Amino acid sequence: MRVLSGIQPTGRFHWGNYFGAIRQYIDLQCEDEAYYFIANLHALTTVRDRDVLWQNTLDAAMDLLALGLDPDRATLFVQSDVPEVSELCWLLMTGTPMGLLERCHAFKEKKAKGVTADAGLFTYPVLMAADILAYDSNVVPVGEDQVQHIEVARDLARSFNHQFGETFVMPRAKVLETSAKVPGTDGEKMSKSYENTIEIFETPKAMRKQIMRIVTDSRPMEDPKEPETDHLYQLYWLFADDADRETMAAKYRAGGFGYGEVKKALADAADGFFAEFRERREQLAAHPEKVRDILGDGAQRARAKAGEVLRRAQEACGVKARS
């Protein structure tokens, strides 16, 4: 079973990235053959500063390694280091109906928000399909908002196989689950686009400052409160063990406490949770050449597999003679 997923280097990872996806990527590498890539070609649709894009790419690699991605278990690489994917993207593009892309919700949503609808944004799902199909991926872990793109990949694979013969493995989506909502500092879903994130690798001092700014309601201290509906408790729940969760929930229901007390407990729990990751991140940052070597080795392995699939597709459609 081969697992594949990519993550865009559009900024530093935050708590929502970790609990919503990265933690589950780490778990999957222990069970299956895993390919994880930093999707810098996809990021070009939004990041237009070369220095920022490159630094974000290197930071994303360091962050993933610090958070537990093991290059001996999983293949980690940069998307653009595998040019076979871009060539495969063109083969798929020639058979992609315009209507299929026009129906993709990500394109429609961004266009509705006034984002310039360039060709890269419009054809984003075809490059994503090439990413998936290039490695004979069986399982693609994604959030619910990305399931449609996996269906596009399946549609394009099915169409190509029908026209040229069995070429591509049919992937399936594995919808990532979170045991709790990951709210941002304003109570909405934590997202860079909402500017409400708390970064994983902020300094403890900066992280505590962000936590103390989390918006809370104005109910009196003495009032009892339901913990499960409170976004501050939902964040605390992510870091605390069962006993501490129960203690904090009981405090909510009894009333007579201030939110500042919860924020301090959250800051202490989050600081302890990420301490080992931060230490590992500092070691990686001190030796960026090791990170580049890991990415180079990963790209070499990824290219070997993508080259095999590309050759198969080229021979199937007649771009190259059959061997």
- Asked if 313 and 103 touch (Cβ cutoff 8 Å), the reply is no
151/154 Cα distance (integer angstroms)? 5
Residue 189 φ/ψ, nearest 5 degrees: -55, 135
> Three-state SS string across the chain, please?
CEEEEEECCCCCCEHHHHHHHHHHHHHHCCCCEEEEEECHHHHCCCCCCHHHHHHHHHHHHHHHHHCCCCCCCEEEEEHHHCHHHHHHHHHHHCCCCHHHHHCCHHHHHHHHCCCCCCHHHHHHHHHHHHHHHCCCCCEEEECHHHHHHHHHHHHHHHHHHHHHCCCCCCCEEEECCCCCCCECCCCCECCHHHCCCCECCCCHHHHHHHHHCCCCCCCCCCCCCCHHHCHHHHHHHHHCCHHHHHHHHHHHHHCCCCHHHHHHHHHHHHHHHHHHHHHHHHHHHCCHHHHHHHHHHHHHHHHHHHHHHHHHHHHHHCCCCCC
Tokens of 30: 């222990």
Select which of 110, 225, 251, 305 is catalytic: 110
Select which of 111, 174, 181, 192 is catalytic: 192
Contacts of 80 (CB under 8 A, 6+ apart): 40, 41
Active-site residue flag, 263: no
Active-site residue flag, 192: yes
Select which of 111, 174, 189, 290 is catalytic: 189
122/278 Cα distance (integer angstroms)? 38
Active-site residue flag, 174: no
Catalytically active residues are 110, 189, 192
